[in-house]
Structure 1
Amino acid sequence: MLRQTNSPTDLSQTVIDSLEFSRQGRIMSGEVAVAALDRLADVVVDSAGILQIVLRGLPGEQRQDGKAGLRLEVSGCLKLRCQRCLQAMDYPLQLVSRMLLVEDGGSWPDDDADGDVAGDELEDEWDAIEASREQSVLALIEDEVLLALPIVPRHAACGLPVATENEYEPSPFAVLAKLKQ
């Protein structure tokens, strides 16, 4: 399912220690079937398809505050239902998400009220998540994909059929109007 590039012998690892993974700068890449993401089944029209995944550990030295993080890249195509025409539509997914790992008892970015403008701008680029010794990679992928989807998916230009005059049934009042003439 997922392949960990730093350890080719362990091809089925889907649970990681997020802090250890990040601190070691490890990389995990591979493919995930859309059907494997259970919560996504309510959103997609067709669960066929594959998502390409790259998960990178970002050691703390890559941030000014020294906190570790993860970078998740997801690409693929999902079949969603257009809310205008109710037809299936291809939704190309190109997602890059950076997550700040907050240790148990650590301060969350919103809790830091130091007023540092540069720090605030830095935090806007990162989503804070709780660090876990048993982080499910599939759950992490699914969370980020669900957050990246549009609330109301729709085609750029729907091919809605335009009704012609002949398609409308005559109104009972139209008959009265003809009698009046």
Structure 2
Amino acid sequence: MTQHSGKPAGLPNPRELDLFEFARSGRHVAGVVRLSQLPRMLNEVPADAPDRDTAFTWQAEGATQPELQDDGTEGPQPYLRLAIHGSAWLGCQRCLAPYEQAFNVDATYRIVDTEAEADEFPLDEDEVEVIVGSRQFDLVDLIEEELLLSIPLVPMHDVCPEVHESLVSGVDGGEGEGNSDEVEGGEPERPNPFAALGSLKRDDPDGEKH
């Protein structure tokens, strides 16, 4: 695995990736990207965080799956699989102190040619996302987008070291406690899209693993 998001010798540049060729040839690329290279994610990190430049490891793999085309013939449909692992410091909404949030992204994308084609894709296909491919696709931008989408709706510690005074000094003295109960459930777990692509490769659209 490379220790940067640039292009190692013999491997495609993840910031200028021919996504269609990458999928058709079944290529694989991996690397490390730092938060300092992801400005939108960096904006989510508190100024007083112990480390504002944490690193994420990632790996991407291209694949194709035979599918029925509009003209009635069967043709190869390109897919991309992306995995991202790492952590970043976020601001806890319960105690207002920084805490370290783990990120583990597993995503599968159906690659299409145009935005119009992406808009026509069925919305009930929740196992496979749709992206518009290009000959100079910025994979690092997609990594940042997935990390942003993976930020919890209410970032917070599992157990806060202490509760901020503003959350326990409400008019009736119980406001902070009520808010804590509302968010205790956290964000629901996302399904694993890799299982969907696995069933596609077996040519069995009904054979999803759970």
**TM-score bracket for the superposition, by shorter chain length:** 0.7 to 0.9
- Distance in structure 2 (CA, Å) of the matches to 1:21 and 1:102: 13
Q: Which has the higher helix share?
A: 1
Give 4+ residue runs of structure 1 displaced > 6 Å after superposition: none
| Matched AA of 2:31 | G
Residue among 129, 132, 135 paired with 1:133: 135
- Match status 1:90 vs 2:95: no
Deviation at 1:9, TM superposition (A): 3.4
Alpha-carbon distance in 2 for matches of 1:85, 1:150: 16
Alpha-carbon deviations, 1:43-75, whole Å to 9, x = none? 1234221100101112234x7874211111000
Q: How many residues align?
A: 153
Partners of 1:162 and 1:20 lie apart in 2 by 52
Tell me, yes or no, if the aligned pair for 1:25 and 1:56 is still in contact at 8 Å: yes
TM-score by length of 2: 0.63
Percentage of pairs with the same residue? 27
Change (3 A) 1:68 1:136: same
Establish whether residue 103 from structure 1 lines up as the match of residue 113 from structure 2.
yes
Q: 1:117 is matched with which residue?
A: none
Greater mean alpha carbon deviation, residues 123-132 or residues 12-21: 12-21
Assess if the C-alpha contact under 8 Å between 2:83 and 2:104 holds in 1. yes
Query: Are 1:2 and 2:5 counterparts?
Result: yes
- The 1:39–1:14 alpha-carbon spacing in structure 2 relative to 1, beyond 3 Å, is same
For residue 157 of structure 1, what is the amino acid of its counterpart?
V
CA displacement at 1:23 relative to structure 2: 1.1
Provide the C-alpha distance between the structure 2 equivalents of 1:89 and 1:148, rounded to a whole number of angstroms. Answer: 15
CA RMSD of aligned residues (A): 2.8
Which residue pairs with 2:65 in the alignment?
A: 60
